[in-house]
Amino acid sequence: MEKQNSLERICQALAAIPKGRVVTYGDLAEMAGYPRAARLAGQTLRKLPRGTKLPWHRVINAQGRISLPEPGASRQREKLEREGVILLKGRVDMGKYRWKP
């Protein structure tokens, strides 16, 4: 029986996101098995340690924008661009980068 907490599941879903692609919090939550729980995804990611190997930066809101307050926002943007995800006007082209399996 999977006694896995949301953290575990979210992490797994997160690890499934290919490089150069992004997903919304809602999608991530759904992938983790919590449809409609987009907020949960965000709150869970918030707990992740800094040196996390997980691609937490590939998660953005449905508007294609970075939801993080300042400290991490810049960091996330840099990581995304580094993977090839271009932010135009601080926005990501969901039509192209949104992970669509």
- The residues of the shown chain that bind DNA, judged by CB under 7 A, are 5-6, 24-27, 34-43, 45-48, 56-57, 59, 61-63, 67-69, 72, 76
Q: Which is nearer to DNA, 17 or 41 (CB)?
A: 41
Helix residue ranges per DSSP H, the chain: 6-15, 25-32, 38-47, 70-82, 94-97
Which residues have a Cβ under 8 Å from the Cβ of 92 and sit 6 or more positions away? 22, 60, 64, 65, 80, 85, 86
Q: What is the nearest approach in angstroms of DNA to the Cβ of residue 87?
A: 14
Q: Which is nearer to DNA, 13 or 37 (CB)?
A: 37
Q: What is the nearest approach in angstroms of DNA to the Cβ of residue 42?
A: 3
Q: What is the helix (H) or strand (E) element at residue 87, kind and residue range?
A: strand 87-88
Q: Which is nearer to DNA, 17 or 76 (CB)?
A: 76
Q: What is the nearest approach in angstroms of DNA to the Cβ of residue 76?
A: 6
Rounded Cα–Cα distance for residues 23 and 87 (Å): 14
